[in-house]
Structure 1
Amino acid sequence: MSTVFALMQFLFGPLIGNLSDRFGRRKVLLVSLSVMAVDYVLMGIAWSIWLLLAARVLGGITAANHSTASAVIADVSKPEERGANFGLLGAAFGIGFILGPVIGGFAAEWGPRAPFFVAAVLAGAIALYGALAFEETLNEKNRRTFEWHRALPWGAIAQVSQFAGQTRLLVVLFFQEFAFIVYPSTWAFFTFAMFGWENWVVGLSLGAFGAMMALSQGVLIRVVIPRLGEQRTAVLGLSMEFLSFVGIAFAPATWVIFALLPLSALGMLAGPAMQGIMSRAVPDNAQGELQGVVSSVRAIASILAPSVMVGLFWVFSDEGWMFTFPGAPFVLSALLMLIAIRIMWGYGKRITG
């Protein structure tokens, strides 16, 4: 179900992004939010695994509206402010990372289906709020004709890659997302194997990470980018991720993990900074397309990374076929960050040269 959800984001991210470049952000967001509400109702009433899977397909399509939300940020921001403002979306995800499980946990007291109905109500309420309060952000002069070949993932990627430096940045984004998947895919396994954490400690650590991520992307990024610039901020973020992955892989005690969480959150500065660079490189009438491509690239990583990370954890676990080293997936993530840093550093050299 996780794979098919990410697959739909890969396939439909560019389509929804291109539709928003043609018809505007408001219509796309309102329709996708309304369908999302219906999707949660379907999951709540699902009487078979196949209906639940079909709902996940629909959910993956509607979740591709993240690209449109990012395009809204690009529409309303000055080019030099886009990187910092993209951080607001990351901060929103960080807050949701904290509140979502809490709301779902309380709702689950009413039964295992209740969280889905609560989510449906929230999605419907957001759609209603958007219909009443959200104004269109895409000017008529920045709208362009819809072209099917640009709405397909490979066509959109080819289109965006024509702009200088975009291919490099897409590769860096892919490596960053692939490395980050180590958290949702192996965190509970890793912390139990290393330190015997109970579920509440796992939840506490994830909540703390979400809070720090919101602070990093919502507040700190507005201080760092004006001082360092977007390219150096991206390198700084990737470097912090590298250090945190290495530290977690070889952490000797629980307190070290919690001490490293701020470092992990600082790593989240890289994504918005890179999006800011990419957004300035494409015309205003292709911001939705660009963000759709970003969504697709991240979705590819979300499809591939869980199996790789969990498989690597198993290979180096007590039941695997090599020596025991639960931190192996984090070492892989650290190596990917080294590659990403090298590419990003080379990008900066090319620009300044």
Structure 2
Amino acid sequence: MVFILVSVLINVMGLGLVIPVLPKLIEHLAGSVQAGAYYNGIFIAIYAAMQFVFAPILGRLSDRYGRRPVLLAASFGTALDYLIAAVTPALWLLFVARLVAGILGASFSTANAYIADVSRPEERAKNFGLIGAVFGLGFILGPGIGGILGQIDLRLPFYFAALLSFVNGLYGWFVLPESLKLENRNLSHTSNNPFAALSILKRTPLLLGLSGSVILINLAFQILQTVWVQYTTYRFEWSILQTSLSLVLVGVTAVAVQGGLVRLIVGRLGERRSVLLGQGAGIVSFTLYGLATQGWMMYATILLGSIGNVSQPASQALISRSVSAREQGAVQGALSALVSLTGMVGPLFGGFLLGQVARAGVPTWMVGMPFFVGALLYGLGFVNTWLTFRRVPPGEAEEAPVATPVAEHA
């Protein structure tokens, strides 16, 4: 566990380093603010599209050849990608770099499969919580360091991210052990069609039901992430510092909940009730974001809604137990592909909603519409999860089926 958590932390820090400066670099290469905003939207969409296409592929490759080769290739490849972004004089070359980054970023699903490999079934919720906490820590440290380096030179965070990724590759090469035993590897022929790869999510009724909730809830999150900065600036006239502090608070609460409270909550309530608790907290927090009339209310809601972070690791634990060891990579890859699909749709929808309500003459209560829509999506996800749990008895869900060739479901 320690090996993979360190590897993920370094990887996420590298990703977080470039978040504060990438839009500025795009704007610099595009030549104007307007063109920069246009191309930034395209770059976000292409990044998500590449993750959608390649997450299932990398997941299946990790089922066939092991997790370690995929993780190592992603680390060294990402180092080269950041280096290209650091030195590129042309926008098209940065576009290629982001395309490659989307492909290699799909390897995060392999890290989830690694966690499933090395964890006993009863420990998976706790360990998925730890990897979520590491993500939160990486997104606290990465953007903070990236913002400081970016003030010195716009390209410096990319050089540092390249160095971190290279160090991560060396760490993996010399320290990270393989987690997937030879007898658990899936050697059957698999399809490279990402839509066909999603068919593994029909493997069990529990997996299919929870996949629907993944789509709905991640659509809500994509809307929130898209509108947060512009909404808080428009609604409360927040400065960049205030926005940054709010994001730091989100990361800190995620670390606290997924790194510690998950074990206590899941231990007391069980995985199913923990999933529903987290999703219910999401409904409440999104509603309160939309109703907030003062900036301090947003901070208070972040604290209140942080309990929602218990849902993801508990859900991952249930999902990982519903399939065999040979299919962990394929399932995690397919789930990542679903999240990437929401990453293509959610930002467009969220931006459209904010554009419609951030106008003169719009009633005050309607300004929070992006968050109200997010609360509705969360509510639909909650209902879907509840109905799924009613249809699938706990004993049936917790026993993985006998593995059959994945090709039959592709």
TM-score bracket, shorter-length normalisation: over 0.9
After TM superposition, the score normalised by the length of structure 2 is 0.83
Question: Is 2:133 aligned against 1:87?
Answer: no
Report the CA distance between 1:84 and its aligned residue: 1.9
- Cα distance in 1 for partners of 2:384, 2:201 equals 18
State the match for 2:257 in structure 1.
216
Tell me the SS of whatever aligns to 1:147.
Answer: coil
- Cα distance in 1 for partners of 2:335, 2:203 equals 15
Residue deviations 1:59-93, cap 9 Å, x none? 00000011110001000001122122111121111
Q: Which of the numbers 51, 57, 72 marks the counterpart of 1:15? A: 57
Question: Is 2:69 aligned against 1:54?
Answer: no
Map residues 296-335 of structure 1 onto 2, 5 A cutoff: 296-318=337-359, 323=363, 325-335=366-376
Percent identical among aligned pairs is 35
Q: Which of the numbers 195, 209, 217 marks the counterpart of 1:154? A: 195
Asked if the contact 2:52–2:336 (Cα under 8 Å) also holds between the matched residues in 1, the reply is yes
Asked if the contact 1:83–1:276 (Cα under 8 Å) also holds between the matched residues in 2, the reply is yes
- Cα distance in 2 for partners of 1:343, 1:159 equals 19
- Cα distance in 2 for partners of 1:221, 1:32 equals 29
State the match for 1:176 in structure 2.
217
State the match for 1:280 in structure 2.
321
Give the 4+ runs in structure 1 shifted more than 4 A.
Answer: 321-324
Residue deviations 1:305-349, cap 9 Å, x none? 001001101101116x95453311000000001101101111121
Residue deviations 1:162-211, cap 9 Å, x none? 32221211110111111011332111111112211111000001001100
Alpha-carbon RMSD: 1.4
State the match for 1:228 in structure 2.
269
State the match for 2:392 in structure 1.
351
Instruction: Give the letter aligned to residue 351 of structure 1.
Output: V
Instruction: Give the letter aligned to residue 11 of structure 1.
Output: V
Q: Which of the numbers 33, 45, 53 marks the counterpart of 2:87? A: 45
- Cα distance in 1 for partners of 2:133, 2:338 equals 21
Report the CA distance between 1:146 and its aligned residue: 4.6
Residue deviations 1:7-52, cap 9 Å, x none? 0000000100011011111111001110000000111111111111
In structure 2, stretches of 5+ residues that fail to align are 1-42, 395-410
Tell me the SS of whatever aligns to 1:252.
Answer: coil
Tell me the SS of whatever aligns to 2:358.
Answer: coil
Tell me the SS of whatever aligns to 1:148.
Answer: coil
Aligned residue pairs: how many? 351
- Cα distance in 1 for partners of 2:136, 2:304 equals 15
In terms of mean alpha carbon deviation, does 267-276 or 297-306 score higher? 267-276
Residue deviations 1:85-127, cap 9 Å, x none? 1111211111111111111012113311111111000011111
Q: Which of the numbers 248, 252, 273 marks the counterpart of 2:293? A: 252
Q: Which of the numbers 229, 239, 258 marks the counterpart of 1:188? A: 229
- Cα distance in 2 for partners of 1:146, 1:174 equals 28
Cα 1:193–1:110 change in 2 (3 A) is: closer
Question: Is 2:280 aligned against 1:239?
Answer: yes
- Cα distance in 1 for partners of 2:254, 2:368 equals 22
Tell me the SS of whatever aligns to 1:165.
Answer: helix
State the match for 1:24 in structure 2.
66
- Cα distance in 2 for partners of 1:39, 1:226 equals 42
State the match for 1:97 in structure 2.
139
Q: Which of the numbers 202, 205, 213 marks the counterpart of 2:246? A: 205
- Cα distance in 2 for partners of 1:21, 1:293 equals 13
Question: Is 2:149 aligned against 1:107?
Answer: yes
In structure 1, stretches of 5+ residues that fail to align are none
Q: Which of the numbers 71, 80, 89 marks the counterpart of 2:113? A: 71
After TM superposition, the score normalised by the length of structure 1 is 0.96
- Cα distance in 1 for partners of 2:57, 2:85 equals 24
